[in-house]
Structure 1
Amino acid sequence: MGPGPVAGAATSKVEQAYELIRERIVSGRYTPGYRLVLGSLARELGSSPVPVREAIRRLEAESLVEFERNVGATVRGLDPVEYRWTMETLAVVEGAAVGQALPLLTAADLAEARRLNDLMRAELGQPAGEFDTQRFSQLNQRLHRTLAAPCPNPHLLDLVDRGWHRLATLRTSVFSLVPDRTHQSVAEHDALLDLIAAGADAPTVEAAAREHRSATLRAVLAHEARDPATAQPTSHDPRRRP
């Protein structure tokens, strides 16, 4: 027979390696600077180092991994400049989308948003060491999408989706960096949903949604200022030296 099954198996191993490493990066299990050892990962996956190397190349293209001389592949730190630009933009477009969606939000939409926020609150009640940062972040994104989804402007929604995708390439879960934001985020969701339920006008709701996003940005930037080792300097970063 031809090489089809072998090629398929190799592709499957690359995908397994990619998903495993990416999940550990975005969940915070692999922190910035963590060294990705091909041999260890290959043994864990029961494969040769070749699929792992290909998976790491994919992650490098997504700016989640970088190669350092004499070190090898390591988890890339958060790029504070790119993160700031992405969050500033997302605060504007997502706030506008929620404002435009307001007249079209149904009682079912609001109930779903509250349900998701309650699930986030339940995650916070997990015993120490069992808090699932990735699940918390996924619930957070679903809540935000629920409020923006009825927006009648498809171009605005496209910009929101692009912002979420861009965040995923920078760091899916910032809550592993700023754990205090977990409780604050849930409380801010409650306040936003209470505003909507009380019949607040679109400008008020838009401003609240925008401030909620901006508060996360401020918390992350404050963290990076205190602990620059978790950040990844770029050519745009004034801290970078030639």
Structure 2
Amino acid sequence: MARGPVTEAETPAAPSLSKSQRAYHWIRQQILTQEFAPGYRLKLAGIAAELGMSVVPVREAIRQLEAEGLVTFERNVGAHVSMVDDTHYRHSMQALAILEGATTALAAGHLTADDLRRARETNTRIVESLDSFDPHTLTALNREFHSILFAPCPNPRMSELVTAEWARLGNLRDSTFSFVPHRAQESAREHENILRLIETGAPPVQIERASRQHRMATLEAYLAHKYSDDAGSARTPTGGTP
């Protein structure tokens, strides 16, 4: 059913945002929630009408999203939500493993008992959601868990870098759990291990290593699945290879 134009109240902190910022936040949210799935064509006029503004601020928002890797622009075709790119995913996950590991280690000494309780409750919800297995829900809960752990990091720039890298991965990470569903259960166990290290006052280097390896394990599971599928598709019907 068609919607009317989005009002000021429907965008985050609308009174303090410019039109291009409003458009940026709205489009980005559609991408991260996969309302706009990979490959979705972004029609500037349609988005402008939805948001009740001209195409100029929408075009500016698209350019910003393109710089972040969430949108791809092709001459004579237009803008569309970036497709899953294995090289991009691998590079982003490697960067995130290092950044998130360091940020979590820096934040560990500043976490309160309430923070750790909320993190453990979130991980329990992850385990409970495995029966229904909704990749989008798992991705949201996973992000909530890690956000709690690095929120008190005393270096705000580190937190900003992690958040920016998460944004780059936003439209890819649901797909990861879809490809390797067993990874979600392993991830929950690794979460518990990271919590135990923090609660027992383990050295920051151990917390950093556990967090980094946790992120890399997801990348390795995805790549193992992909290359296994690629090898399988290359086999001949008799089991040999061409």
TM-score by length of 2: 0.65
Q: Which runs of 5+ in 2 are unaligned?
A: 1-13, 231-242
SS in structure 2 of the partner of residue 20 of structure 1: helix
TM-aligned CA deviation for residue 132 of structure 1: 4.3
Counterparts of 1:215 and 1:26 in 2: how far apart (Å)? Answer: 23
Cα distance 1:126–1:103, how it changes in 2: closer, same or farther (>3 A)? same
Deviations 1:158-194 (A, max 9, x none): 44542432332x2235431112344443332123223
- Identify unmatched segments of 5+ residues in structure 1: 1-7, 229-242
Of the three residues 113, 116, 119, the one matched with 1:110 is: 116
Q: 1:88 to 1:57 in 2, by over 3 A?
A: closer
| Residue in structure 2 matching 1:177, options 175, 178, 182 | 175
Distance 1:30 1:82, change over 3 A: same
Q: Which residue is equivalent to 1:57?
A: 63
Which residue of 1 is the match for residue 218 of structure 2?
A: 216
Change (3 A) 1:227 1:171: farther
Q: Is the 8 A contact 1:33 1:77 kept in 2?
A: yes
Judged with a 3 Å threshold, the aligned counterparts in structure 2 of structure 1 residues 47 and 201 are, in CA distance, closer, same or farther, namely closer
Distance 2:153 2:59 in 1: 42
Q: Which amino acid aligns with 1:54?
A: E
C-alpha distance in 1 between matches for 2:166 and 2:174: 14
Task: Let me know the Cα RMSD of the aligned residues.
Answer: 3.8
Number of the residue aligned with 1:165: 164
1:88 aligns with 2:87: no
Q: 1:194 aligns with which of 193, 196, 211?
A: 196
Change (3 A) 1:134 1:30: farther
Q: Which residue of structure 2 lines up, in the alignment, with residue 206 of structure 1?
A: 208
Relative contact order higher in (CA < 8 Å, ≥ 6 apart): 1
Amino acid at match of 2:166: L
Aligned length: 212
Cα distance change of structure 1 residues 104 and 37 upon mapping to structure 2, 3 Å threshold: closer
Counterpart in the other structure of 1:231: none
Once the two structures are superposed, residues 109-157 of structure 1 have per-residue CA deviations (whole angstroms, 9 ceiling, x without a partner) of 322321332354566577969x5467435413413415xx367xx4xx6
* Structure 2: distance between partners of 1:134 and 1:109: 20
Whether contact under 8 Å (1:32, 1:77) holds in the other structure is yes
1:56 shift after superposition: 1.7
Q: Distance in 2 between matches of 1:201 and 1:15?
A: 41
Aligned to 1:177, the other structure's residue is in SS state helix
Question: 2:150 corresponds to which letter in structure 1?
Answer: R
Shift of 1:67: 1.6
Distance change in 2, residues 1:174/1:191 (3 Å): farther
How has the CA–CA distance of structure 1 residues 25 and 68 changed in structure 2, closer, same or farther, with 3 Å as cutoff?
same
Aligned residue for 2:41, secondary structure, equals coil
Q: 1:25 aligns with which of 26, 31, 44?
A: 31
